[in-house]
Amino acid sequence: MTISLAPFANNWFFLLKAVWITVVISLSSMLLGFAIGIVVGSLRTYGGKWVDRILGFYVDTMRAIPLLVVLIWIYFAFPLAIGISVNVMTAAIAALGIHLGAYVAETIRAGLTSVRRGQMSAALALGMSRMQAVRTVILPQALIRMLPSLGSLLIFAIKDSAIASVIAVPELLRQTQVVAGKTFRPFELYTGAMLIYFLLCFPVARSVDRLYRRISFLGSS
Amino acid sequence: MNLHWDVVWDNLPRLLAGAWMTIWLSVVTMALSIPGGLVLAFMRLSPLSLVSKPATAFVEFFRATPLILQIYWVYYVLPAYFDVQMSQIATAIVGLTCNISAFNSETFRSGIVSIRKGQWSAGRALGMTDIQILWHIILPQAALRVLPALATTWVSLFKDTSLVSIISVPELSYVGLKIRSETYRILEVLTAMAVLYWLMGYPQAKMVDWIHRRFKVVE
């Protein structure tokens, strides 16, 4: 077996663009997922029984259905249902974000409920509104406690962006397949892609770990 | 818009066969990944770096790369470069097992590490060997502690089996996509597929919540 690096040398720009798309999809779906997660997680914790039930249904549905199925449904079936076509990037970011959002919501909810009740009472006693109390007292502590779980969700966002290759989003895995098919060098290309994903994920995992070790004391009450 | 749900009813036996394959794949993978994860966890806890380093590398690598890529890698690279011939199903099981073993090993390792040092000292004071302590004292306690995390991994495994559809393993997603391209009833077939996943996955998600509540560690 000989290993040839020519496929990388000849297609480096093509693959670099693919890495960029992977980064864009991961970051956008993280933003969307965290926005959904923070809203849904807080509403489930403080919004009363019915809000909790309805949003709980969304969360549990996303926990039950594979991301691949959500993605395919949003890209192929949803446009038929509403009669508008959806572009691949939008579909990918929407599916990844909606799926991730459920997991973020669960983490946020667990974090918020882990902050002791006394904190809320103390904040209310100081004349804060519930909203203020959550924003300035509860959430900052909860976010720090949730950091390890949120960090692993960031890694999942990067890894799951590879599933977008199934609907032909020109991200790293998809373009790796294209080059592998053209050059007949699957070993080098798929191994290279693995290393690139590893280089994208591992530093994120490590820096979240390090950050948590630095600031975890702020979250203890 | 006309919906033809009869397409779904006509193809229901095929979809159910796919769902059965999904369940089967999950069970087989988990059955292999529990011993796999245990071996990796013990290797990582070993004081010999010759044993612990490779296990750490394996676990970190499989946790930091996409499963879908791992499946492609096993599918395209093993037969072509290492002369390993496997059926699609075997390929799927190998890919899934490596991935889930890596996740399980972290679960087991944290379970074993979470048992307080005093328990080891107590065992030694009673004159037990390390193996005896591990077997009679540490593992029984750790087993209950890892149950919630293991249950979470089970549900993500169940969902992740959908990814082996890319190498044509006839599980639910593959069957669904196939029926879609045969009948062009995209909305109906894809919705039915999602509903089937939901019917199987929703109770599991609820079950995981119950296990988390029931076996929460209270020190």
Cβ–Cβ of A64/B81 closer than 8 Å? Answer: no
pLDDT at A171: 93
Is the predicted pLDDT of residue A204 greater than 60, yes or no? Answer: yes
Q: Give the rounded percent of residues in chain B with a pLDDT score beyond 90.
A: 71
Pair B199, B21: CB distance under 8 Å:
no
Could you tell me the pLDDT band of residue A169, with boundaries at 50, 70 and 90?
A: very high
Average confidence (pLDDT) over B4-32: 93
Q: Is any Cβ of chain B less than 8 angstroms from the Cβ of A165? A: yes
Task: Retrieve residue A183's tokens.
Answer: 């050059």
Residues of chain B positioned with their CB less than 8 A from the CB of A66:
159-163, 173, 197
Could you tell me the pLDDT band of residue A186, with boundaries at 50, 70 and 90?
A: confident
Domains of chain B, earliest start first:
6-214 (1.10.3720.10)
Cβ–Cβ of A80/B186 closer than 8 Å? Answer: yes
Q: Give the rounded percent of residues in chain B with a pLDDT score beyond 70.
A: 98
If you average pLDDT over every residue of chain B, what do you get? 91
Q: Is any Cβ of chain B less than 8 angstroms from the Cβ of A58? A: no
DSSP B5: T
- A82 membership: H or E segment, kind and range: helix A78-82
What CA–CA distance (Å, rounded) separates B28 from B204?
A: 17
Is the model more confident about A69 or about B79? A69
**A72 CA to chain B: closest CA distance, Å?**
8
Is the predicted pLDDT of residue A74 greater than 80, yes or no? Answer: yes
Alpha helix (H) residue ranges in B83-138? 88-114, 117-125, 130-133
Q: Is any Cβ of chain B less than 8 angstroms from the Cβ of A68? A: yes
pLDDT at A83: 87
| Cα nearest neighbour of B190 on chain A | A73
Residues of chain A positioned with their CB less than 8 A from the CB of B165:
68
Average confidence (pLDDT) over B142-170: 93
CA distances from B81 to A10, A35, A111, A179, B84 (A): 22, 45, 47, 18, 8
What CA–CA distance (Å, rounded) separates A177 from A188?
A: 11
Q: Give the rounded percent of residues in chain A with a pLDDT score beyond 70.
A: 99
Interface of B with A (CB under 8 A): 1, 60-61, 63-70, 72-73, 76-77, 80-81, 155, 159-163, 165-166, 173, 176-177, 180, 186-187, 190-191, 193-194, 197-198, 200-202, 204-206
Pair A157, A30: CB distance under 8 Å:
yes
Could you tell me the pLDDT band of residue B219, with boundaries at 50, 70 and 90?
A: low
Report pLDDT digits (tens) over A21-44: 999 999 999 999 999 999 999 999
Average confidence (pLDDT) over B80-88: 82
Is the predicted pLDDT of residue A73 greater than 80, yes or no? Answer: yes
Average confidence (pLDDT) over A159-176: 94
**A111 CA to chain B: closest CA distance, Å?**
15
Could you tell me the pLDDT band of residue A16, with boundaries at 50, 70 and 90?
A: very high
**B212 CA to chain A: closest CA distance, Å?**
12
Is the predicted pLDDT of residue A175 greater than 90, yes or no? Answer: yes
If you average pLDDT over every residue of chain A, what do you get? 91
Could you tell me the pLDDT band of residue B1, with boundaries at 50, 70 and 90?
A: low
Average confidence (pLDDT) over B185-207: 94
Report pLDDT digits (tens) over B24-82: 999 999 999 999 999 999 999 888 999 999 999 999 999 999 999 999 999 988 887 77
Average confidence (pLDDT) over B88-107: 94
Average confidence (pLDDT) over A187-207: 92
Q: What is the dihedral of CA B53, B54, B55, B57, to 10 degrees?
A: 90
Is the predicted pLDDT of residue B201 greater than 90, yes or no? Answer: yes
Domains of chain A, earliest start first:
7-219 (1.10.3720.10)
Pair A98, A28: CB distance under 8 Å:
no
Is the predicted pLDDT of residue B117 greater than 90, yes or no? Answer: no
